[in-house]
Amino acid sequence: GRTSTLGEPRERPCPRCIRRARIDYERWDALGRRWRRLRRRLRELDRVATPFSPRRSPAFRDVDDGLIDARGRVESLNATIAALDAALASAEAGVAESELRVARTRTAGGAERRRGERARHAAEAKRVRTARDRTAAVLDEQRMRVVELDRERTRLERELRARHESSERARRHSQAKRDAERAAALRELRTVEI
């Protein structure tokens, strides 16, 4: 089947009707363009208000994603510090136990071995303590970043909400004008379709 200039499917006409349609093509083509323009205008006028969603703003999305990433990093750093605290406690317990074992040794070789053991535990404790302090400094920076990003996100959301409410007020004030335009477009479309 063919498609009419209005975009509606129809059965194939007879050759005489095809010749007649070709003769009047300019007139029907202009009518079809007018019909499509009116349908587009009606679709625009029938659009409903969109609900408020700040994530539609690219700036808000960037800040929000950054905030989510920063919070995840803070949680990861907290878990790392907890693991480092456990390792530090274990190393310090090893140092204390080595000191007790040095006091109980009976031979010089045993005392030397216990002192070496104590030195290894002390070196491990020092390494873990250094790593924990470094991680704690990074954690403090990340917490400050979370606070700043949260503040920026709140500011952006407030600004976007004010803009959305302003556009909604303008939309409500222009509702009568849109209704009049819609009625005029419907009358013209009816004329075109007839």
Percent of the chain with pLDDT strictly greater than 90: 39
Mean pLDDT, rounded, for 45-69: 88
Give buried/exposed letters for 147-182 (b at 16+ CB in 10 A, else e).
eebeebbeebbeebeeebeeeeeeeeeeeeeeeeee
Predicted confidence band of residue 79 (pLDDT cuts 50, 70, 90) = very high
Residue 128 CA, distance from chain mean position: 37
Mean pLDDT, rounded, for 160-180: 88
Residue 93 CA, distance from chain mean position: 46
Structure-block tokens of residue 67: 């905030």
pLDDT higher than threshold 60 for residue 1: no
Of the given ranges (5-9, 74-78, 83-87), which has the lowest mean pLDDT? 5-9
pTM to 2 decimal places: 0.59
pLDDT tens digits along 95-151: 888 888 877 887 888 888 888 888 888 899 999 999 999 999 999 999 999 999 999
